Each structure stands twice: as structure tokens, then as C-alpha cells.
Amino acid sequence: MGSDIVGCRDAKGRTPLHAAAFAGHVDCIHLLLSHDAPVDAVDQSGFTPLMMAAEKGRDGALEVLLTSSSANLGLTDKDGNTALHLACSSGKESCVMLILDRLTDGALLNTTNAALQTPLHLADRSGLKRAVEELLSRGASAQRADENGRSPEAQLVQPLICLEAWLPLATPGYPWLPLATPGYPWLPLANPGYPWLPLATPGYPWLPLANPG
């Protein structure tokens, strides 16, 4: 297999290694790498084969590219995403952990993309609990704000607030019942001035008053 084959490109600038990474064909990746396929070749979107595997959640392909080649983890696509950003967006926790295990440049933990998002923003948004914990333990910043002014810290706290606030205040002795409006036991306690609304949680007027505990 000659360099003209392993290095050829399609209309989007993708090489055979891009295609193999996209599809997760591990054997094909091994074969292409054995013939010196360009591991950091960039397509028209700025994607390397490694980024392609990370975005598609192809953990087998990603592992081969990380362990069998000198793929550059610091490269970014046209939107400023590194492979770590893309893995965090993919929702595939194993891909994030594979990259973190090979990461030597700690600065990449807090690299921001065009939307000023760090990998931690994206891991939290994807619900990757273990990845979030690992990123934080390695020094990822929870205070850095994205283009909308939201920090990972704010994203992490908000679900806890919502979790605590979803229960109406219970009737004493009947914890499964909302606190009743006096004289109208079938109605939740009304929000003063808005009798058709349940009593609101302070600071969160769209939520019923939370049941402590």
C-alpha cells in the first residue's frame, strides 16, 4: 500500500484514516498506520482522525490512535475544539478517560473553544459524572464562564437546586400530601397574591416551595 493511497483525500479533505476512525474500524486503522498513514491529517473542518473517533464515540479506534501513533492532542478544529472537547460532547465517557490517560499537557484541560467552553462545560452538559470528577481532580476550572456567562460550577449547582425543590411542602403528619390551603384541604398552599399558584420557593418563583429533606 503506497503513500498515494493512504494519503489520498476525498472532496471533504478526509483520508482513509479519517474514514476508518469515523466507522470505528480498528483493524483498518492498524493496517493504515502500519503503512505510515498521516495521523494528524486535517480535513476541511479541521478534524484529524483522532478527533473523528472522539466525536463519534469510537473508543476502540480512539485507543489505537492514542497508543499506536503520535497523534497530537493539542490540535483544534475550525470551532476551536480539541479531541478532549469532542469526546466530552460525544457522551461516551470511555473516550474521555482514554484521552485523559494519555494527556500530558495540563493546559488542555482549560482550553476554550469558539464558544468559550472548556471540556468540563461539555462533560457536565453531557452528564458524564466520572469524567467531570476526573477533570476537576486534574485541575480543570469550574469557574471559567462560556460565551453565555455560564460556568461549569453554575451548571453543577443548578441541578442540585432543582432536585431539592421539586417536592411541594408536605402536610404535617401526611408527608405524601402538599401543604393544604386552610379551609381547602384539596388545594396546595397558595402563593400570596397569586392564589392559583403553589407557594413559591424563595428565589425560584417558578418552583413550588420545597419539602425540607
pLDDT reported for residue 7: 85
Name the grid cell of 183. 379551609
**Per-residue pLDDT reduced to its tens digit, 111-143:** 999 999 999 999 999 999 999 999 999 999 999
For 135, residues 6+ apart whose C-beta sits below 8 A from its C-beta are 100, 109, 119, 120, 123
On the question of pLDDT at 109 being above 50, the answer is yes
Is residue 5 very low, low, confident or very high in pLDDT (cuts 50, 70, 90)? Answer: confident
pLDDT reported for residue 3: 64
Is residue 153 very low, low, confident or very high in pLDDT (cuts 50, 70, 90)? Answer: confident
- Describe the crossing of helices 93-102 and 59-67 by its angle, rounded to 10 degrees: 10
pLDDT reported for residue 197: 45
Instruction: Give the three-class secondary structure for 17.
Output: helix
Amino acid at residue number 94: S
pLDDT reported for residue 209: 52
pLDDT reported for residue 2: 60
Q: Are 181 and 171 in contact (CB under 8 A)?
A: no
CA distance 88 to 123: 5
**Per-residue pLDDT reduced to its tens digit, 158-203:** 444 333 433 344 545 555 555 555 554 555 555 454 444 455 545 5
pLDDT reported for residue 156: 61
pTM of the model: 0.72
**Per-residue pLDDT reduced to its tens digit, 25-80:** 999 999 999 999 999 999 999 999 999 999 999 999 999 999 988 899 999 999 99
CA distance 95 to 53: 9
CA distance 31 to 34: 5
- Bridge partners (DSSP) of residue 123 are none
For residue 5, the Cα-to-chain-centroid distance in whole angstroms is: 35
pLDDT reported for residue 33: 95
For 68, residues 6+ apart whose C-beta sits below 8 A from its C-beta are 29, 30, 33
**Range with the poorest average pLDDT among 62-76, 89-103, 141-155:** 141-155
pLDDT reported for residue 188: 52
What residue ranges do the domains of the chain occupy? 2-181
- For the domain with range 2-181, which CATH number is right: 3.30.420.40, 1.25.40.20, 3.40.50.2020, 3.30.465.10? 1.25.40.20
Is residue 213 very low, low, confident or very high in pLDDT (cuts 50, 70, 90)? Answer: very low
For residue 78, the Cα-to-chain-centroid distance in whole angstroms is: 18
